[in-house]
């Protein structure tokens, strides 16, 4: 038996934590999982753990079992407990922490050159904005935690040594890389040493640097999912990489087709835009594959009614480049992203990325993560988007339409009978002041779909809350008129 944590939405002040419990003895499994997370550094000293009630609810086990495990690990020195402060990972002075990572070493000299141009979907200006927008890729910007972010910025700037305001380490500020290492390890199961993290200005910026580094190292072919962002495919092809589309079925990308390619770009936790998770058997195939894997974990924090899918990177950390951003969790315009890079690619990728986000934004995000603000924002947003997802699914099911890809993320796929219907619905929506994308826009190959798929990719995260009801009503009216 294996159990993974899916944190309950009611515990808004808890942290996300990725653990797997193996075996039939629940208490022994939980003890072993927590010891292992502390031992390998995924749970760092001082990290506050969920309450016993919250953790029990997330795991579906008895609260007394969690309380007994916490007490046992406190007695062994792995954890500490204080009245009013909850349970935390013990400080590094405890003998059980002998194997924790050392502080981040000093980085290379500051980079003084010009920044790399930032390209991608978010950079393209829109000539006329539609009145209602259900396109995928952007969160609800009205929900940005402006007050909390501003407070974090004030605290970060007050505490920051002034030398960080000069040209920063091209890998990113140590404060942010350390904060990200702890967060990614506990929330996404990533094997994350701060020294291997490179801060970038969003995924498009990171992918551009990765693509150039791979091409310079002699790579010629990148396998990509047959459905995905055209902008990302363009970025990868620009340095001269040849793209090989991989079909996607109900088990995710058919990764066997990557044989002979030098690298592969995947969205394994929640395939974009189809929404399927990469099957465990195919995850193992990728982990055993000899090439470089780029894992785009674009919405890993937003999972709803399924057990969490941990990062693919932990299966092969020496070959998988893990990529994440704050574009969905906070806002795209912050231009904050990160890569966890295998050692053999680290110097080349760092050199290609050159200049990343501003030091002030990096310091603010580091403070936002370490203070718990990022976890709180994720949990609030997750609950809000889950409610929107439920409303969308219910409304479309009443029309007899099949909606998929809804277990996670900020978009869903509405299946339609053919490409002609798809185009007619997109055009009808536009006439009614509603922007929505057809699945055709995401295919890597032109012409009729080889797999016969047709549908709408509906991004339910983008509209502000006051506009979502009307946007959804217009979508349902257009769909009803097309039948």
pLDDT tens digits, one per residue of 44-56:
888 888 888 888 8
**63 burial level (CB within 10 Å; 0-12, 13-18, 19+):** middle
Q: What is the DSSP string of 107-170?
A: -PPPP-SPPPPP-SGGGSPPSS--SEE--SS---GGG--HHHHHHHHHHHHHHS-GGGGSSPPT
Is cis: bond before 359, omega within 30 of 0? no
The pLDDT assigned to 114 comes to: 33
Largest distance between two CA atoms of the chain: 68
Kind and range of the H or E run holding 33:
helix 26-39
Nearest of 330, 326, 297 to residue 408 by alpha carbon:
297
pLDDT greater than 80 at residue 83: no
CA–CA separation, 235 and 160 (whole Å) = 35
State yes or no: pLDDT of 180 exceeds 70. Answer: yes
Where is average pLDDT lowest: 163-167, 304-308, 371-375?
304-308
Runs of H (alpha helix) within 161-267: 174-188, 203-216, 230-237
Per-residue pLDDT averaged across 202-216, rounded?
96
Q: Check residue 40 and give its pLDDT.
A: 81
The helix, strand and coil proportions of the chain, stated in percent and rounded to the nearest 5, come to: 45, 15, 40
- Which pLDDT band, with edges at 50, 70 and 90, does 59 fall under? confident
Query: With bands split at pLDDT 50, 70 and 90, how would you rate the model's confidence at 13?
Result: low
Contact 59, 5 (CB under 8 A): yes
83: Cβ contacts below 8 Å, ≥ 6 apart = none
pLDDT of 125 > 70? The answer is no
- Residue pointed to by tokens 């960080």: 164
Structure tokens at 477: 């009216």
Q: Cβ neighbours of residue 420 under 8 Å, at least 6 residues apart?
A: none
| Lowest-pLDDT choice from 110-124, 139-153, 333-347, 409-423 | 110-124
Model pLDDT, residue 108: 35
Cβ proximity of 199 and 337 under 8 Å: yes
Dump pLDDT digits (tens) for 133-157. 999 999 999 999 999 999 999 999 9
Phi then psi for residue 479, to 5 deg, are -65, -40
- Indicate the helix (H) or strand (E) that contains 438: strand 437-438
Q: What is the pTM of this model?
A: 0.79
With the CA atoms of 64, 70, 74 and 80 taken in that order, what torsion angle do they form, in degrees rounded to the nearest 10?
-120
User: What pLDDT, on a 0 to 100 scale, did the predictor assign at position 197?
Assistant: 97
What is the reported pLDDT for 1? Answer: 52
Which domains are assigned to the chain?
A: 2-96 (1.10.10.10), 146-371 (3.40.640.10), 375-481 (3.90.1150.10)
pLDDT at residue 450 is higher than 60: yes
Contacts 24+ apart (CB under 8 A), 69-76: 69/27, 69/30, 69/31, 69/34, 72/31, 73/31, 73/34, 73/35
pLDDT in tens, 354-408: 778 999 999 999 999 999 999 999 999 999 999 999 999 999 999 999 999 998 9
pLDDT of residue 2: 53
């Amino acid at each position: 038996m294996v159990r993974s944590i899916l944190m309950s939405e009611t515990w808004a002040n808890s942290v996300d934590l990725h653990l797997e419990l193996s075996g039939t003895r629940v208490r022994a499994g939980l003890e072993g999982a927590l010891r292992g997370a502390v031992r390998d550094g995924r749970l760092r000293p001082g990290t506050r753990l969920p309450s016993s009630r919250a953790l029990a609810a997330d795991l579906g086990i008895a609260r007394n079992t969690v309380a007994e495990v916490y007490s046992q690990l406190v007695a062994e020195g792995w954890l500490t407990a204080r009245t009013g402060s909850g349970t935390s990972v013990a400080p590094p002075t405890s003998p059980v922490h002998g194997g924790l990572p050392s502080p981040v070493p000093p980085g290379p000299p500051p980079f003084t050159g010009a920044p790399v141009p930032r390209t991608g979907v978010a950079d393209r200006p829109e000539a006329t904005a539609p009145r209602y927008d259900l396109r995928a890729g952007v969160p609800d910007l009205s929900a940005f935690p402006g007050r909390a972010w501003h407070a974090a910025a004030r605290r970060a700037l007050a505490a920051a040594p002034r030398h960080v305001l000069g040209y920063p380490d091209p890998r990113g500020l140590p404060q942010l890389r350390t904060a990200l290492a702890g967060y990614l390890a506990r929330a996404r199961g990533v094997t994350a040493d701060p020294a291997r993290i490179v801060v970038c200005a969003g995924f498009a910026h990171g992918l551009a640097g990765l693509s150039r580094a791979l091409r310079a190292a002699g790579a010629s072919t990148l396998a990509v999912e047959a459905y995905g962002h055209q902008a990302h495919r363009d970025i990868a092809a620009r340095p001269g990489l040849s793209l090989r589309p991989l079909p996607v079925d109900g088990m995710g990308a058919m990764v066997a087709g990557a044989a002979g390619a030098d690298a592969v770009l995947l969205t394994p936790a929640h395939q974009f835009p189809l929404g399927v998770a990469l099957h465990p058997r195919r995850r193992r195939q990728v982990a055993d594959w000899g090439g470089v894997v780029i894992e785009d974990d674009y919405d890993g924090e937003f999972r709803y009614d399924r057990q969490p899918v941990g990062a693919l990177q932990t299966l092969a950390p020496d070959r998988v480049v893990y990529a994440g951003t704050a574009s969905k969790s906070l806002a795209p315009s912050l231009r904050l992203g990160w890569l966890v890079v295998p050692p053999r690619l680290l110097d080349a990728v760092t050199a290609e990325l050159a200049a990343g986000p501003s030091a002030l934004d990096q310091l603010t995000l580091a403070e936002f993560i370490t203070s718990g603000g990022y976890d709180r924002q994720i949990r609030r947003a997750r609950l809000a988007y889950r409610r929107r997802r439920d409303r969308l699914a219910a409304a479309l099911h009443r029309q007899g339409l099949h909606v998929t890809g809804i277990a996670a993320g900020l978009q869903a796929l509405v299946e339609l009978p053919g490409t002609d219907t798809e185009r007619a619905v997109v055009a009808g929506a536009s006439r009614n002041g509603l922007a929505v994308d057809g699945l055709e826009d995401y295919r890597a190959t032109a012409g009729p779909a080889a797999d016969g798929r047709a549908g709408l990719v509906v991004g339910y995260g983008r509209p502000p809350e006051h506009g979502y009801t009307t946007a959804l009503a217009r979508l349902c009216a257009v769909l009803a008129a097309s039948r």
